[in-house]
Every structure is written in C-alpha cells, then in structure tokens.
Amino acid sequence: MEEIKKCIHQASAILNVEAGVMDTNGLIIASTDAKKEGDTDSASRAVMLSEDTFSLTSDKIYMKIVMLDQVRYIAYINSTDAGSRTNLSLLGEWIKATVKEHGSDAEKELFTKSVLLENELPGEIPIKAREFKINCNEPRLVIVVRTDADDGVHTLDILQNVYGDVQNASVMAMDETTSIIVLDVADEISSDHDAFMDSTSQAILDSLNNEGITAYIGVGSFVSTFQQIAKSYRDAMLALRVGKIFDKGNYISKYYQLGLGRLIYQLPYNLCQMFIEEVFPNEAYRSLDEDTLATIECFFANNLNGSETSRELYVHRNTLVYRLDKVKKNTGLDLRSFDDAVQFKMASMVRTYVEYLESSRDNKIR
C-alpha cells in the first residue's frame, strides 16, 4: 500500500483535483486529500459490475486497475472534464507499474533471503538470479545488523536510506531485530578488504547511533559469487555471536578478526569444562579478585611487559610482581612465562565461553 500512497502523494503535486485509489470494496486506500483515506465509496459496486474499464458518475470518473487478469484496485478522479480521463489513465498506468515493480522487488528480496538461508538448490540459483537481473559472478559481502525489537522498523528505514543510491546493495529485514545488507563489492575487490569492512561497518553504526539506536554489527567474509552469500551470512552471524562472548566492548565484530574466539566457540561444552578443570583446578580462577584480573588483562595487552604494565596501571613494579606472584600461587601459572601466559589466556577465554553457555538468561540484543 505504501507504494500506492507514495504515487498518489506525488500526483497531488501535479493534479489540481482530488484523485485516489480504492480497493475493490470501495475502501479508499490513498487519496490526494488525506482526510478521505479510510472512507468508503459506495459507487465501487457499480464500477465493479460494469464491464467497461472506465465508469462515470455525476462528479467522478473511475478506472479499474487490472493486473494478472484481475481487478486489483479502482482509481478515481474527482472531475468529469475531458482532460480528467487522460489524467486518470496515466495515474492508473503509473500505479500499475509501481505495484508491479514493488512486487518484483519483494520477490527478489524473498529469493535473496532464500539463498542466504540455503533454501535454494545451488543449481537453480543462477537461473533464478537471471530472472531478477542479479549478477551472480560478482563478489559479495554480507553484514548483519542487530538492534532492539522496538528499533527494528526504524533500523530498516535508516539502512535503506544509507544504501538508497547504491545499486546492487540489498537491505532486508530477517526478523524484527535483524537486518541484513548484501553488498556487491566488485568495485572493492582490488582495495584493502579490511579497510573497506572497517569503514563500511563504522558508517552503518554511526548512522544508527545518530538516530539514537544501539546496534551490533556482524561483518561476514568476502565471497566471490552470489551463490556463496549464505557463507558470508553464516560468517557474519558467527562474528556477531562470538563477538558477544569474547569482545563485549565492541559493537562491530568482523569474522576475520575473531581469532581464538572462533576456535573456542566450536568446542563442545564437556571438553571446555575438562580443560578448565585441568588449568584451574578447584576453581582457582575464582580466587582472583577484580584488581588482579585487570592487572592480568593489562599485562597481556602490553605483551607481558612489566614496566609498561606498571606504568599504565600507576602501580609500583614491585606491586605488579606481587600480584603476578599471587596469580602463580593461586593458579600455578607464572604469567611471565610465555607458555603459562598462553595457557592462562586460553583457559580464561574457555571459561568465558562456558559461562556464556551456562547463563540461563540472555536477553541482550546481540
């Protein structure tokens, strides 16, 4: 209906008489006089019974809009002079073309969703894609945007405007919280992929933030054909999920940056528990307080450099040594040794993952 309303709205700037469109029951769905929308025109019955395309009353001309051999709508113009019939014909054809185009867009979107969700047979994708004028041989990138359900409609609106003039970029809603962008990246194939992903995802986030919408963005991997967009979509969804667990401070998660998190995410729960038990027997990890954990995080961030860590934490080097000794005493791992540091890092990430799996309530939007 929105596309018909848009047509009539645009027509109001051209026509100097009232015109509109009603359904076959006479319910006015769009009018140049917005107050008339929702009213019922009793003449519609007579128009439908007439065998002619055009019907005339004392003050209006009506035209049946026929699509696929069926009357779908009735267009009308509130005038009976000679020029009005021509205007109505033009309006009718305009609405027909718009509805057809919109229907084709909707079908194209449905097809793309179907490919994303792997509901299409691989052999049929190029054939159907040709029908929708989709070039299968150009590389694609899928980006998933997740927001609160309340913001879903606005999100789609904003994203459609962000990519409003980009040809071959498809923006669609998967559900009320998830929007998908399938980008044709043929022009970016020779450029720095990472930089392109960074700038594109940041621009999307900024556009949504600008409208007061908090969003999490998952960026998939570059794929070389349209048939492979399901893989890019899977990667983007995985990025979103893994990012949620291991990179909570970031609103953008990129598949290529998932690192160890991607590996740990694939591990079975039992194996994770066994590993934690081995590295942190008797729940040794729980004995580490917040300060110590922050110290460890900073120590790792500074590549096990003690001087830099103590400087950054504003603590004396001896304090840092004391804290690291305490970690060694509680866990048996000396973080100044590379092997122990790796083991600690892995185990703490596995622990984070197990905690995520065990958390019963997870209402966050990502």
Beta bridge partners of 76: 20, 62
Q: Is 10 in the site for other proteins (CB under 8 A)?
A: no
How far is 77 from 265, CA to CA, in rounded Å?
A: 62
Q: What is the DSSP letter of 22?
A: E
Q: Does 302 bind other proteins (CB under 8 A)?
A: no
Beta strands (DSSP E) in the chain are: 19-23, 28-31, 54-56, 61-67, 70-77, 140-147, 169-173, 178-184, 215-219, 252-254
DSSP run (H or E) holding 37: none
Task: Report CA Rg, the chain.
Answer: 30
By CB under 8 A, tell whether 213 contacts other proteins: yes
3-state SS, residue 43:
coil
Q: Indicate the residue among 78 and 302 with the shorter CB distance to other proteins.
A: 302
Which of helix, strand or coil describes residue 217?
Answer: strand
Contacting other proteins (CB under 8 A), which of 70, 121, 123, 164? 164
Region from 69-77, 190-198, 199-207, 267-275 binding other proteins, contact rule CB under 8 A: 199-207
Structure tokens, 329: 């005493």
Q: How far apart are CA 249 and CA 46, in angstroms?
A: 64
User: Least distance (Å) from other proteins to the CB of residue 294?
Assistant: 4
- Least Å distance between CB 344 and other proteins? 12
Q: Which is nearer to other proteins, 130 or 316 (CB)?
A: 316
With vertex at residue 345, the alpha carbon angle to CA 342 and CA 347, rounded to the nearest 5 degrees, is 105
Residue closer to other proteins by CB (options 154, 234) is: 154
Q: Which is nearer to other proteins, 84 or 177 (CB)?
A: 177
Return the number of the residue (130 or 364) whose C-beta is nearest other proteins.
Answer: 364
> Whose Cβ is closer to other proteins: residue 106's or residue 203's?
203
- Is residue 34 involved in binding other proteins (CB under 8 A)? no
> Total binding residues for other proteins by CB under 8 A?
31
Q: Which of 72, 68, 65, 70 is closest to 90 using CA atoms?
A: 65
Stretch 258-297 residues interacting with other proteins (CB under 8 A)? 290, 292-297
Kindly state whether residue 210 participates in binding other proteins, applying the rule CB under 8 A.
Answer: yes
Binding to other proteins by residue 165, rule CB under 8 A? Answer: yes
Residue 246: CB atoms within 10 A of its CB come to 20
Stretch that binds other proteins, among 1-9, 111-119, 308-316, 323-331 (CB under 8 A): 308-316
Contacting residues toward other proteins, per CB under 8 A: 154, 157, 161-162, 164-166, 202-203, 206-207, 209-214, 248-249, 290, 292-297, 312-313, 316, 348, 352
